A and B are shown apart, each in its own frame.
Chain A
Amino acid sequence: MHHVVLERWSRRASGLHARDARVKLAATLVVLLLIGTTVPSHPLAFAAEFVLLMAALLVSRLPIAGALMRAGAVLPFSAIFALVSWLAGDPAKAAALVIRGYMSALAVLLLVSTTPLPDLLRALSWFHVPRLIILITQFLYRYLFVLSEQAQHMRLAAASRAGGRRAGSGLASRFRAAAGALSVLFARSYARADGIHRAMIARGFSGEFPASALNPVRLMDFLFLGLTISAAVLIRTAA
């Protein structure tokens, strides 16, 4: 079974990986706020923010090209809004939209690829993010792998019955096959959800998840947060 790259990255070791999840979450929010409020007329501020993100990327010891490429996944979405601004005669705003979108994605990517999901969820809980959202995220992430595995098995089964050719000859036939597979996957997901709920009740679940403990924040974590805030203030005041 293939696991997502970010999951593997998040289990590595580096100066950034070692920082407390709450501190990294707070630092990411500071950087997102900085990026989101940088005005299009200050390209040097964008450059400084990019340098800040690159410094964090270097400290994280993640593959630089891979991380930069993955952050680009957000570009098709921000490009649509940028195009609207461009057509409205505001190319500076269009460029800022693309840059902001890309750098925000890079900041979030740095957070999720240096923090294992359980730690990140605990940090979100510490910041009083609604429990329901955390639970949904947790279950979605946990069972995404299981569903993806089921989908892969179904795809293999379909391919094995197609005798080396694509199942069905026309587009309509392929569409029907895909729709059928999707409905089976949905039905299985539903049955699995039922099974999970039953397994939870069997172990005494009564609607409330037990809280888990967090490690204390260390001096290095405070220093990291202080450094991030100082850099953000410096960029903002210098721009």
Chain B
Amino acid sequence: MSRVIEVENLRYRYEDGTQALDGVDFRLEAGECVALLGANGSGKTTFALHLNGLLSGEGRVTVCGLPVDKEHLKEIRRKVGVVFQDSDEQLFMPTVMEDVVFGPLNLGVGLQEAESRARGALEKVGMLTAARKAPYHLSAGEKRRVAIAGVLAVEPEVLVLDEPTTFLDPPGQTDLFRLLSELPQAKLLITHDTVFARALATRAVFFEKGRVAAEGTVDQVLDRFDWNPRFH
């Protein structure tokens, strides 16, 4: 199994002085699905934004052997696809097709090849029939699928999904689970949805105050931090 992401002693402090990451060590192997758990403000999203160079802190981050630095940003962004929590922020082009080809075109792929990739990605997520639609005509689940297609069209080796089940109804969550289960890429799930994490992830990492507080199977981590919701 080859390592696709390796992070050593990553630290990041926001301009307001908040120490969001305080020495994070992390690794992700090819084909693996890891759930990133932790309380709000524990640094999960900040950490994810370092993986494709959207934020840059102290420490070492490598993706498929490449250091995340200015020199390799283009290649890094091809290898790491980020699906953001709010699909409305990700779908900014006037039509679904234009949105999905946005990534490949930016990375220098020709128009024909980009459209071919986009059709393939939309077919994979079951949204090819919506190619000519405007994103605001789609439901939350459909938007999420198109957002994933936009990332898949870049043919990444790692998928980072920030709260992927937000706004999705149970059938939408089932569809998303099936879709993600079939994708061969390594996946990093940032989530509070413990049911979804249990179903999909093979390993969990728990963040606390900008550090990795524990890692293991999802059940081990959830039990250790008593992270199972109780309603009675």
- List A residues at the B interface (Cβ < 8 Å): 1, 3, 7, 116-118, 121, 138-139, 141-143, 145-146, 192, 195-196, 198-206, 210, 212-213
Contact = CB atoms under 8 A, between A and B. Distances in A.
Nearest to A208: B106
Interface stretch (B10-18, B29-37, B92-100, B222-230): B92-100
Contacts of A205: 102, 106
Given A142-B92, A196-B92, A202 B102 contact: no
Contacts of A7: 134
A12 to B, nearest CB: 14
Interface string B15-44: 000000000000000000000000000000
Contacts of B90: 199
B73 to A, nearest CB: 9
Contacts of B52: 202
Contacts of A3: 136-137
B120 to A, nearest CB: 17
B94 A138 contact: yes
Given A204-B74, A204-B77, A204-B106, A212 B98 contact: yes
Given A202-B52, A210-B102, A146 B88 contact: yes
Interface of A is mostly: helix
Contact of B94 (A121, A196, A200, A202): A121
A141 B92 CA distance: 10
B154 interface: yes
A204 B150 CA distance: 12
B136 A195 contact: no
A206 B106 contact: yes
A213 B115 CA distance: 11
B106 A145 contact: no
A143 B30 CA distance: 37
Contacts of A198: 49, 54, 84, 89
B82 interface: yes
Contact of B84 (A143, A145, A199): A199
A200 B154 CA distance: 13
Contact of A203 (B77, B94, B95, B134): B77
Given A192-B89, A196-B92, A203 B137 contact: no
Contacts of B95: 118
Contacts of B103: 203-204
Candidate in A1, A7, A205 with the most chain B CB atoms within 10 angstroms: A205
A205 B78 CA distance: 11
A203 B106 contact: yes
Given A204-B74, A204-B77, A210-B102, A199 B92 contact: yes
A195 B98 contact: no
Contacts of B94: 116-118, 121, 138, 141-142
Given A118-B94, A142-B94, 15 more contacts: A1-B136, A116-B94, A118-B95, A118-B134, A139-B92, A146-B88, A192-B88, A195-B86, A199-B84, A199-B90, A202-B52, A204-B77, A204-B78, A205-B102, A206-B106
9 tightest Cβ-Cβ pairs between the two chains A and B: A210-B105, A204-B106, A118-B94, A195-B89, A203-B103, A199-B90, A145-B136, A202-B82, A204-B107
Candidate in A121, A192, A200, A210 with the most chain B CB atoms within 10 angstroms: A210
A156 B200 CA distance: 37
A92 to B, nearest CB: 44
Contacts of B92: 139, 142-143, 196, 199-200
Nearest to A201: B54
21 contacts: A1-B136, A118-B98, A143-B92, A192-B86, A192-B88, A195-B84, A195-B89, A196-B89, A198-B49, A200-B102, A201-B77, A202-B82, A202-B84, A203-B102, A203-B154, A204-B78, A204-B107, A205-B106, A210-B106, A210-B111, A210-B114
